[in-house]
Chains A and B, each alone.
Chain A
């Protein structure tokens, strides 16, 4: 039995290692990002030499000046890849972390933009992720733009979304056309179902491949050494997905 979170982590790992994308040397993972964190650890534990900076990990957190240091590094172009989610994400890859309705979230208020308004423009690559794949999340146009998917010519910007990994599928993003293309659907999903669950328009090949299952080796890594790294920062996630708790393991 492969958990959906494991499928998403493996799909994100495949995007990270995409040979057509700019190389990654230093990846940062922000707050509330357990699935991207698992994907990064999967890449690293799989033997790929990347530097991982996990903002909310206490032990092994490389920063001695907190998040300020992360933003300074990113400002210089020294962070190659970052991850962003969204309360809403639209077909132009705009993300909304502020809320729905009128400013500043008159219907539903989300926590806030965090570093997105900076990171999305200053990182050569961003992988978008959101497990819930529904028309309320993937909307034709976000109510509020926390960070824009594309920028007009003349605005300094290092990169855009590479893709969007959801609980149902993987999309790739083309910044020139500001448009997503369906790349694969997870086992058990169909292209029709993804279409019905998505509020924005996107392109779709005639034959949509299935997202590959994580390999046995990847599953072993996720459930062992990857989980070991994540227990401290994401105890609830590790308990839910892998039924492992740091407290049990200390007692054992």
Chain B
């Protein structure tokens, strides 16, 4: 599989695309998000699987996002997501609230090619009242009344995540974060940034195969060293708490956020900034 340039790969995302992103503890494509900002993308409809963090907040702050469907947007210990909070208050971004297992279930329906799947719980939550696309039916298998929620399949236009390795066949290794297979299976197009390349076929190694997503699902890969920075990558490198605190502080104001973009996103490749 041809390896693409990170910025070229980001530029290939159409404005307005429905883009699924993993959360901040599961191989977030942070370098790719910065490349989307450099590419000046607009009107993206982000899907947080199942929640959203740094990459989503950055993209919202940079004006790339029309809406975000998610179960939560936060910077973890660094606090509320400042750009999300500000943009929502200003009416610049729309939030479509969900609850974590619903995000997984909607994508699993797409993965299976079925139009909907049921999920327990949720009844009595105001989320349901604000999701006209979610329905409650009476469980047809129950002897007596048993209301249960049905969720529609959710097929992202694009799923993006970071992986540790890619091999020449486009297989990518995500280690224990095997939940990424769900967005890879469900999305129409899958873009993966990787830390490094390997010559050996990942699926031929019985120890690596369980943590490998088959190249059959992967449309393009690009090299991005330290591609999840400032977020941790498995046991490869740790979370950069000082940088996240700096982001949280700067992003509290428009001017501060612009300064962040100048310093870490627009002028320098992310891997240089991380060193």
Contacts and interface: CB of A to CB of B under 8 A. Distances in A.
A147 B70 CA distance: 16
A119 B77 CA distance: 22
Interface in A108-126: 109-122
Contact of B147 (A31, A69, A114, A154): A154
Nearest to B80: A111
A64 interface: yes
Nearest to B138: A154
Interface string B84-106: 11001100000101111110100
A154 B145 contact: yes
Interface stretch (B13-21, B38-46, B114-122, B163-171): B114-122
A97 B126 CA distance: 11
A237 B76 CA distance: 12
A122 B121 contact: yes
A71 B50 CA distance: 11
Contact of A235 (B77, B124, B145): B77
A109 B141 CA distance: 40
Interface in B45-92: 50-51, 70-74, 76-77, 80-81, 84-85, 88-89
A155 interface: yes
Given A68-B182, A156-B148, A112 B97 contact: yes
B123 A118 contact: no
B127 A118 contact: no
Interface residues of A, number: 50
B104 A151 contact: no
A64 B77 contact: no
A250 to B, nearest CB: 11
A100 interface: no
A65 B148 CA distance: 25
A198 to B, nearest CB: 23
Interface in A132-176: 144-148, 151-152, 154-156
A236 interface: yes
Contact of A118 (B76, B84, B119, B146): B119
Contacts of B76: 31-32, 56
Contacts of A147: 124-125
Contacts of B125: 113, 116-117, 145-148
A112 B71 contact: yes
B91 to A, nearest CB: 10
B76 to A, nearest CB: 7
A116 B122 CA distance: 8
B241 A114 contact: no
Nearest to A110: B80
B109 interface: no
Contacts of B70: 112
B130 interface: yes
Contact of B51 (A74, A114, A120): A114
B135 interface: no
A113 B77 contact: no
B177 interface: yes
A214 interface: no
B155 interface: no
B120 A67 contact: no
B270 interface: no
A55 B177 CA distance: 12
B72 A64 contact: no
A243 B126 CA distance: 40
A122 B123 CA distance: 11
30 contacts: A32-B77, A55-B25, A58-B25, A64-B178, A65-B179, A67-B179, A68-B108, A68-B182, A71-B101, A75-B120, A97-B72, A104-B95, A109-B89, A111-B51, A112-B51, A112-B95, A113-B97, A113-B98, A114-B51, A115-B99, A115-B100, A118-B99, A121-B120, A121-B122, A144-B126, A148-B124, A151-B123, A154-B144, A154-B145, A156-B121
Interface of B: 23, 25-26, 50-51, 70-74, 76-77, 80-81, 84-85, 88-89, 95, 97-102, 104, 108, 119-128, 130, 144-148, 176-180, 182, 210, 232, 234-235, 241
Shortest beta-carbon contacts, A-B, top 6: A112-B72, A148-B124, A66-B179, A71-B101, A118-B121, A117-B99
